[in-house]
Each structure stands twice: as structure tokens, then as C-alpha cells.
Chains A and B, each alone.
Chain A
């Protein structure tokens, strides 16, 4: 028994468990307050006040909503496939919560002479893990939509499936451009390489654009929220859901927003890096000693990471209340005929720039050349006689 206790205190196990629980709690907390922030942002953009009754500035609104959700009738339709109907929202929530496991939220704490990474698991296939979890995210929607035994739910589920498959391709290819530059699949390594203002956004502007659009589509957020398009499909895949099962679906969307903002921050905005972090760390170490100084510097880094994540979530909301919903054929055309060719072009340009030895100049020159070629090609395109609008 004493050897077990000794193992517990000496190994990373307790620290890792603590970090996982804290990340889990913060994820849920941020997702809960995103529902409040979404209404406040919507209200601000539409010149209203938003929720302001429950608590100061409506801050208790998420609690009130959760209470309402729990006390509603939990209804399962008579012709529904009962187990799959229950499995749907569970899977949605499960896959949403899994994806932040490999995200490094900060550098490391030095505790008792050991370095503990502020990250749940550090594996050398980190990005592939994120990508795998994202590709599983659609099962919750599909299974729930099919099990409801309702036309509108089924249509929503099928829309979700085709949308996710289409946008995963472009997303994967925009990530490959990042991987070619960093030469590693580990998210922590990718963040470490962006140290010193060397953020990937400067090298991969087109890749960032493609990745963001695909992230919106994968999260089912406006302008790509066709699976739950209420003007056409009543409520989409969650038409038949009520009570906390509906709550799980809606909540999973906010967790997905948090996770995709975190991944975007890591891949393109340097993760926990911020300008002047070396200066801050040396000052802190000389003032507080090596260990405490390093830990305080890590805390500031975590703060910078969460600033980026919160801005990402705000960006999701900003777009939702600015851009109207796409039509379904426009969505498919954008995915297959717009984003995938652009992502392939981005791959070729990035590869050429890396081979030429001038990464930054090469990539921007390549992108400029691509824009010139596209505009020349567009103006020289043969005019169709019976051109159909919108095709």
C-alpha cells in the first residue's frame, strides 16, 4: 500500500488527473457562459439589451436555462429507436469533450523539481487525434436524426453528414500545409515552433481562411447551419428532442466552438505564446527565483491562450449575427469547387516556398501569383451562351 502511495505522489498521475479535471471544468464553464455571451453579442449587434433579469447583467441566465431544461418532460417518440435516440446526444457530447485533450493550454509548471505540461495528453499524433475526433462528431447528429423516425430529423441528419464529409477534406488539406512547415504532428511542438512572434498565420493566410470556413461548417454554425435550418426543416436533426437531450445537442455545439477556437489558436496564433514573453519570463525569474518565476510566466501564457480562445468564440458569434445562411447547393459548391482546389493550390505554394528556402517571401509571392492567375483566367473565361444563374 505504501508503495502505491509513493507511486501516486512521485508519478505524474495526480497532476495529470488534476489538469484533466480543471480543463474539463473550464470547458463546461466557458461553454455555459458562451450561451449567455451569444445572446449578449446578438443583442449588441441588433441594438437590444439581451438577457438582463437573472442576476447582474443576466449572468445567472445559463443556470436558469439549465434548470428549465432539466425540469421539462423527457419525451421519446413512440416509433423511435429508443436506444439510438438516447445514444445520439450522448455521442455528440462525448466527441465534443474529447477534442481538447491534446491542446496545450500553457507551457509547463515546475513542481517539486518535475516539469508538468499544462496539457492532458502529449502524443506524437496530436493533430491526427483532433482530426479523428472531429470526423466522429457527425455520428451523434446522424444517429439521433435517424432514430427520431421523422422526415425533418432524417433530412437534417443527412445534411449534417454530407456537409461534414465535404468540409473535412478541405480542412485536412489546410492542416497538411501547416504540418509541412512544422514537420511534426504534435500540437505542443507546433506551438513551440511559433515562439517569438513566428505565428503560422503570417505564413499561411490562405490556409487559415480555409481552416476557419471549414471549422464553421464542422461546428454547424451559421452561415453553415443547414442541418438545423428552421425555415426548411422545423428544427432539423433535433426536431423530436426535448429536455436535457436537446440541451446536450445545443451544449455540444458550444463546446465544439471552444475546442475549435483552441485548435485554431494553437495552429495559427501561436497558442500560449505572446509578444515579449522571453523578457517577461527573465524578469520574473530574476525577481521570484527560477521555479516560481517560471510558473508565474506559464500562468501569463495560459492567460494569453484563453484570450485567443475567447476572441475565437466571439468571432464565431460575430459571424453568426452578421452573415445570413447559405443555400444548400451554394454550400456544396463552396466546399467542393471553391475550398478544395484552393487548399490544393495552397499545398503546392507552401511546398514550393519551403523548397526555395525563402518561406515567408515565397508563400506571399506564390499567393499573389495565384490571385493574378485566377483573375486573368476569370476574365478570359469563355462566355456561355445559355448561362444558368447560380449554377
Chain B
């Protein structure tokens, strides 16, 4: 008991946020209604952003909220609202499917646990740690200095994906107008 009380406040924050993250993640896969799933997923993204702030990555937290919670999840919700989800899916009545899914999930979980146990644990040296790590200025300098080539390659990849999406969505001659 004494141990729990003497923990620094950041540990309490971490514990509360972790509970919230797991609550959102479990709600995402366990709720029957897909719209509720999306809303739980948004809760998860928010708590992950809060974890980023705890890890001194303000920029990542803001971008995570803008891109994932603000744009991608709006699109998810948008598509799900258009679909009529009234009928029950019969996937959960298929025994073969359930068995395969359970085995795959257990295997994946086992692999994750093995890797976590063997992972190299790096301790941050408190005395030499720069408080600016993860702030916008430092991140920008390393992205556009040290990692310029990979960064530009990723941008080209995005451009290709965007052009591909436009090509797929393009209306061809003779196709009907909606």
C-alpha cells in the first residue's frame, strides 16, 4: 500500500490513461453497433495522444488527433452511416471461422509476447536527456536533415497512392452519373 501511495503522480496519469485506452480498444471490438465501435475507437486515439504527451511528443500527439481522430475517423463514421447495418452478420455462426480466428489471434499474441521479452530495453539517461526531444523544432530539423531521403520517399509514396485513388474513382465514359 505504501508503495502505491509513494508513486510519482505521472504513474497515476499513466495508469488511468492505460485503463482508458484498453477500455476504448475493448469497446471497439465488443460493441454490436458499428457506430459505437467507431466512437470507442476515437476514445482510444485520444488516450493514445495523451500517452504521446506523457512521452514528451507534443507534435505527434497533435498530429495524431488531427489526422486520425479528426479526418480518418470522420470518414469511417461517414461510410458506416451510409451503410444499413440492421441485419445480423452470420460470420459469428460459422464454427470453422471462429476456430481459425482464435488460433491466429493466439499465435499473434504469442509472437508479440516473445518479441517483447527479447526486446532490447533502453534506459533513458536522465542527466543527458534533452527536454526538447519530440518538440516541433527538433523533430523538423531531424526529419529534414538526417532523414531527408526517407521522408521524401514517403512523400512520393503518398503521391502515388493519391494518384491511384483518383484513377480508381474516376468516372469512365459511358458510366452512369449518380
Measured CB to CB, the residues of A under 8 A from B are: 81, 84, 123-125, 128-129, 131-132, 135-136, 138-139, 142-143, 146, 154, 157-158, 161-162, 164-165, 168, 185
A residues within 8 A CB of B70? Answer: 132, 135-136, 168
Smallest CB-CB separation from A146: which chain B residue?
B81
Which of A129, A143, A154 lies in contact with B39, CB distance below 8 A?
Answer: A143
Question: DSSP class of A's interface residues: helix, strand, loop or mixed?
Answer: helix
Which residues in window 17-50 of B have CB below 8 A to A? 33, 35-36, 39, 42
A124-B77 in contact (CB<8A):
no
A residues within 8 A CB of B71? Answer: 135, 165, 168
> Is the C-beta of B107 less than 8 angstroms from some C-beta in chain A?
no
B77-A161 in contact (CB<8A):
yes
| Listed stretches B57-65, B91-99, B122-130; interface member | B57-65
**24 sampled A-B residue pairs with Cβ under 8 A:** A81-B35, A84-B35, A84-B36, A123-B58, A124-B136, A125-B59, A128-B63, A132-B69, A135-B70, A135-B74, A136-B69, A139-B42, A139-B77, A142-B74, A143-B39, A146-B81, A154-B81, A158-B78, A161-B77, A161-B78, A165-B74, A165-B75, A168-B70, A185-B136
Which of B65, B81, B136 lies in contact with A136, CB distance below 8 A?
Answer: B65
A residues within 8 A CB of B77? Answer: 139, 142, 146, 161
B65-A132 in contact (CB<8A):
yes
For this complex, into which size category does the number of interface residues on chain B fall? 20 to 34
Q: Assuming A125-B62, A131-B62, A132-B65, what are 11 further A-B pairs, CB within 8 angstroms?
A: A81-B33, A84-B35, A124-B58, A135-B74, A136-B69, A142-B77, A142-B81, A146-B35, A161-B78, A164-B74, A165-B75
A residues within 8 A CB of B75? Answer: 165
A132-B135 in contact given A154-B81, A165-B74, A168-B71 (Cβ < 8 Å): no
Smallest CB-CB separation from A137: which chain B residue?
B70
A138-B74 in contact given A128-B59, A157-B81, A158-B82 (Cβ < 8 Å): yes
B residues within 8 A CB of A162? Answer: 78
Interchain CA distance A286-B39 in the complex, whole Å: 58
Measured CB to CB, the residues of B under 8 A from A are: 33, 35-36, 39, 42, 58-59, 62-63, 65-66, 69-71, 74-75, 77-78, 81-82, 135-136
- In whole Å, how far is B55's beta carbon from the nearest beta carbon of chain A? 15
B residues within 8 A CB of A123? Answer: 58
- In whole Å, how far is B64's beta carbon from the nearest beta carbon of chain A? 9
Smallest CB-CB separation from A138: which chain B residue?
B74
A residues within 8 A CB of B39? Answer: 84, 143
B residues within 8 A CB of A139? Answer: 42, 74, 77
- In whole Å, how far is A278's beta carbon from the nearest beta carbon of chain B? 29
A residues within 8 A CB of B33? Answer: 81
Interchain CA distance A132-B74 in the complex, whole Å: 13
Interchain CA distance A136-B65 in the complex, whole Å: 8
Smallest CB-CB separation from A183: which chain B residue?
B137
Interchain CA distance A146-B136 in the complex, whole Å: 37
B residues within 8 A CB of A158? Answer: 78, 81-82
Interchain CA distance A161-B59 in the complex, whole Å: 25
